[in-house]
Structure formats: C-alpha cells, structure tokens
C-alpha cells in the first residue's frame, strides 16, 4: 500500500534532484578531510548559521552528543529541559558516554527555559557538586509541540549564559522550521549560540545526516568526539551532496509544510473525539488527545488508520502526533481528514 505517512518528517525520502547529485558527487576520504563535497556542505552550513566551521555527522543524536563532549569534561553538568530530545530520546548518551550530569528544568509552553530557573540551578563552587558548564536548548521544540522560540530569546539566553561563564548549545534539528515560522534568516537564531546541530534528514528531505556548527577550535574538539563515537565517515560526499540541496532548495519551502499542517488541523477540529492542543500547529507538528467520545486509545486509532493507508505517531495512551513534510501533498489533507472522520464519526 502507498501510505500517507504523518509519523515524522524523518520519513522523507530524497528528492530526484538529490539522487542525481548523490550519484554525481565528487568524493574523497573525509577522515583525511579530503572529501570536497563534505567540505562544501560544512562551509555552507557554517556560513548559513553564522559560525566559523561545520562538521558533518550521521545523525542529530551524534551531533548533540559530539557537542556536549566538546563543551564538557566528565563531572560537568548540562542544564536542559525536562522535555528536551537530548534528555528524553537520546538514550542518555551524555551520561553513558560523557560522564556528564544533567539538570532538567521544566520547559515553558514554547519550549524555552526560564532564565530565573536557570539562574537558580547554576551550581556554587563546591566540591560536593558537579560544575555547571552548558545550557542546551531546542528550537523548534519537538515534545512541546513543534513550538519555536524567538530571536530575542536566543540573544537573551546567550548573553545571560556568557555573563556567567556558561556555553549554550542549540539542538536545532528543525531550526530552519523555526526560522520559516518567524520569517527570519536562520543565522538570527543560531549565531548567538556557541554551537548548533541542525538536521538535513527531517523536513529538508535528505536521506542521512546533520551538521554541527561552531567556532574552529570547538569543531576541532567535536571532530575528535565524533571519531570516538565512530562517526568518522569516508566517502561521505555521496550523502553530503543531498545535504547541500537540502540547504539550498528545501529550507525556503518549509512554510508550505506549516500551512498544510494548519489546514489539516482545521479539518481535525470538527471531528468528535479529537481535542487539539492549544495553539497547535506552531510549525509542522500537530498534537492532540483523544477524548472519551473517541471511544478508543491512540494505538487502536493508529491501527485503524493504518488499515486504510494513513500512518500517525502515537505519543501516549491518548496522544497522537502528526508531522507534515515535503512528501505530504495538498491532496493528502482531505484524504487524511476523511479517514479520521470515517473512523471517529
Ligand atoms: N526526532 C525524531 C524521534 O527521535 C522522536 C522524530 O521523529 O521527531 N533533536 C530533535 C529535536 C529531534 O526531533 C530528533 C529526532 C533528534 C534530535 C535526533 O535526530 P536523529 O534521529 O537524526 O538522531
């Protein structure tokens, strides 16, 4: 069956143009720094995000972990959100492999961390306690609903952190979605950060890869961390070629995914048993709960939808996540609303 797949934007397959570029890519051994296509992707990424250097990594998870390992020593502490992807869904890599402690603060509804709560969490100079070293943010914020934080916030937190001798890393897996929602160049959000990871393989449709950006000295340390994690790739230019197209051609169209999410959400509001989160969708994610009226749980609904060709993300007993992306087309919106209607009415 040809499924309409709303489970995630990670399901996006490469575009025909990407496949052509991958086949034609000039390659070399990237561990020797000799892959011209990887080098081009890294330079382009650094330029876009307003940083000195970039590092191509296989996944967002490895980008975030390489960043944490490059910023922190064993026994250091990272302040991050309770709902952060790095805290919830990266298998605790920072503690498992880095010996880095985490301090989790509640996320605000837009995914941000409150500065007064960060202030209160910063450790005193005391040998009983870990050393606060890094703040990690997420923008857009996945678990908070694909919400975005503003340019002013990114500047404020960076100034706040630097005044206290701390660094800030951004998990910007979908930071181009945040930039599209705010209608600003992405560097407005990323340049105040000490480092940023963004993903090529989510809404931007590349098959594999993320890029970590920061200063030259930071990226030198992160390259060593990537090697430790087994992420030193060889002729990775075949992948980077798709990444270059992801940045050049796919970032400017993300607003379409946001619009499609809004139209889909409007259709869903009228269906009994569906209670959309307030303000959803902020970008390309729709979150909702099933009420008693639905008379079924999220996994039961997901199974029924699958039987008629629609895949959705189950995010809790009664909670569903839908993510729009390049391969979710205009026609699919009506088909999706009709499918929900058929099952829930
Ligand atoms: N998110 C995936 C799942 O892991 C939940 C998804 O379907 O949304 N940061 C953020 C904010 C992410 O959403 C993800 C992936 C990552 C990092 C990790 O990226 P990968 O999967 O490339 O390691």
Q: Which of 7, 65, 196, 199 to mutate to test the pocket of ligand 1 (most atoms within 8 A of CB)?
A: 199
Could you tell me if the CB of 141 is within 6 A of ligand 1? no
Domains observed in the chain: 4-10+253-344 (3.90.1150.10), 13-251 (3.40.640.10)
- pLDDT given for residue 345 in this prediction: 84
Chunked into runs of 10 residues, the chain (345 residues) has average pLDDT values of 95 98 98 98 98 98 98 98 98 98 98 98 98 98 98 98 98 98 98 98 98 98 98 98 98 98 97 96 98 97 98 98 97 97 93
Could you tell me if the CB of 142 is within 6 A of ligand 1? yes
Q: What is the CA(142)–ligand 1 centre distance, in A?
A: 8
Atom of ligand 1 nearest to the CA of 210: 22
Atom of ligand 1 nearest to the CA of 64: 17
Q: What is the CA(202)–ligand 1 centre distance, in A?
A: 8
Atom of ligand 1 nearest to the CA of 313: 7
Could you tell me if the CB of 206 is within 6 A of ligand 1? no
Could you tell me if the CB of 192 is within 6 A of ligand 1? no
End-to-end alpha carbon distance in the chain: 24
Whether the model clears a pTM of 0.75, i.e. scores above it, the answer is yes
Could you tell me if the CB of 146 is within 6 A of ligand 1? no
Could you tell me if the CB of 42 is within 6 A of ligand 1? no
Closest CA to 199 of 262, 248, 143, 246: 246
| Cis peptide preceding 281, ω within 30 of 0 | yes
| DSSP codes, 233-297 | -SSTHHHHHHHHHIIIIIGGGHHHHHHHHHHHHHHHHTSTTEEEPTT--SSSEEEEEE-GGG-S-
Q: What share of the chain is helix, strand, coil (3-state, %, to 5)?
A: 45, 20, 35
Closest CA to 193 of 136, 271, 231: 136
User: 84 in helix, strand or coil?
Assistant: coil
- pLDDT given for residue 90 in this prediction: 98
Q: What is the CA(173)–ligand 1 centre distance, in A?
A: 7
- pLDDT given for residue 1 in this prediction: 80
Q: What is the CA(85)–ligand 1 centre distance, in A?
A: 7
Q: Kindly report, residue by residue over 238-260, the tens digit of the pLDDT.
A: 999 999 999 999 999 999 999 99
Q: Kindly report, residue by residue over 149-191, the tens digit of the pLDDT.
A: 999 999 999 999 999 999 999 999 999 999 999 999 999 999 9
Q: State both tokens at 294.
A: 């639905």
């Amino acid at each position: 069956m040809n499924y309409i797949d709303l489970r995630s934007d990670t399901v996006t397959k490469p575009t025909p143009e990407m496949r052509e570029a991958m086949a034609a890519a000039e390659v070399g051994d990237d561990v020797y720094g000799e892959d011209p296509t990887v080098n081009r992707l890294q330079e382009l990424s650094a330029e876009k995000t307003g940083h000195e250097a970039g590092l191509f990594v296989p996944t967002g998870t490895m980008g975030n972990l390489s960043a944490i390992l490059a910023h922190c020593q064993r026994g250091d502490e990272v302040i991050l959100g309770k709902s952060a992807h790095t805290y919830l869904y990266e298998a605790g890599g920072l503690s498992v492999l880095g010996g880095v402690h985490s301090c989790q603060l509640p996320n605000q509804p837009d995914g941000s961390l409150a500065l007064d709560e960060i202030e209160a969490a910063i450790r005193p100079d005391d040998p009983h306690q870990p050393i606060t070293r890094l703040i990690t943010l997420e923008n857009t914020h996945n678990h908070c609903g694909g919400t975005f934080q503003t340019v002013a916030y990114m500047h404020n937190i960076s100034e706040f952190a630097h005044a206290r001798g701390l660094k800030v890393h951004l998990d910007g897996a979908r930071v181009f979605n945040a930039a599209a929602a705010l209608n600003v160049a992405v560097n407005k959000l990323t340049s105040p950060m000490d480092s940023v990871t963004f993903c090529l393989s989510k809404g931007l449709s590349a098959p594999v890869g993320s890029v970590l950006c920061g200063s030259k000295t930071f990226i030198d340390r992160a390259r060593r961390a990537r090697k430790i994690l087994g992420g030193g790739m060889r002729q990775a230019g075949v992948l980077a070629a798709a990444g270059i197209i992801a940045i050049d051609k796919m970032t400017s169209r993300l607003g379409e995914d946001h619009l499609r999410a809004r139209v889909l959400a409007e259709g869903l509001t009228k269906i009994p048993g569906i209670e959309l989160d307030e303000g959803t969708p902020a970008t390309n994610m729709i979150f909702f709960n099933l009420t008693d009226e639905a008379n079924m749980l999220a996994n039961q609904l997901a199974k029924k939808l699958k039987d008629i060709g629609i895949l959705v993300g189950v995010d809790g007993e009664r909670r569903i996540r839908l993510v729009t992306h390049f391969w979710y087309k205009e026609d699919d919106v009506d088909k999706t609303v009709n499918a929900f209607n058929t099952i829930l009415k």
